[in-house]
Amino acid sequence: MAKDDLLSIYGVEPPAPHRARTSLALLFGALLASPLAWSVQLLVNYGLASHACFPSDRPRSSLAPGWEWVEPVVTALNLLCLAIAVVASLVALSVWRRTSGEAEGGHESVIDVGQGRTRFLAIWGVWGGVWFALQILFATISIIWVPACGS
């Protein structure tokens, strides 16, 4: 006997009745892609830019010889990570719309009965994606407008 069948015998709704409308991998991919993209953008940019401008015990006023490729690579990486964050937000929004009728009532009643898990995770994916996309966007703007090595 399935778990949902057992719950229905006792008159209890499963905590995420519309979870079959989306895959768990898609939901968690949309939830985690934006923070992972931001982490990659932050760590790789920091490593590349700091070594190109500070390869030894003294900072340089311009990029180290042979490191001219850093600026276009860092800009391309930022744009790629920004695209990943935006797509993840849109996927999470799609999941949220598919599961928007998961529980009756407003957010107060959903919290009281503990239903709407899929919808809850999807809306966190939407807002998390928006905030991480904004962080990546601001970092991209600073990379484009601020000269390398502060020169």
Q: Which tokens hold the place of 78?
A: 């930022």
pTM for this model (two decimals): 0.76
56-102 tens-digit pLDDT:
777 777 887 888 898 899 999 999 999 999 999 999 999 888 877 65
Q: Provide the percentage of residues in the chain whose pLDDT is more than 70.
A: 74
What mean pLDDT do residues 38-46 have? 95
Give the SS3 label for residue 65: coil
Q: Are 111 and 104 in contact (CB under 8 A)?
A: no
Between 101 and 103, residue with greater pLDDT: 101
Q: What is the pLDDT of residue 113?
A: 47
- Can you tell me the distance from the alpha carbon of 26 to that of 74, in angstroms, rounded to the nearest whole number? 28
**In the predicted structure, residue 7 carries a pLDDT above the cut 80:** no
Q: What is the pLDDT of residue 76?
A: 96
**In the predicted structure, residue 137 carries a pLDDT above the cut 90:** yes
Q: Are 102 and 16 in contact (CB under 8 A)?
A: yes
**Minimum mean pLDDT among 24-33, 96-105, 114-123: which range?**
96-105
Residue 121: how many other CB atoms lie within 10 Å? 21
With DSSP H G I counted as helix, E B as strand and the rest as coil, what are the percentages for the chain, rounded to 5?
70, 0, 30
**In the predicted structure, residue 105 carries a pLDDT above the cut 90:** no
Q: What is the pLDDT of residue 112?
A: 46
**Minimum mean pLDDT among 2-16, 112-126, 130-144: which range?**
2-16
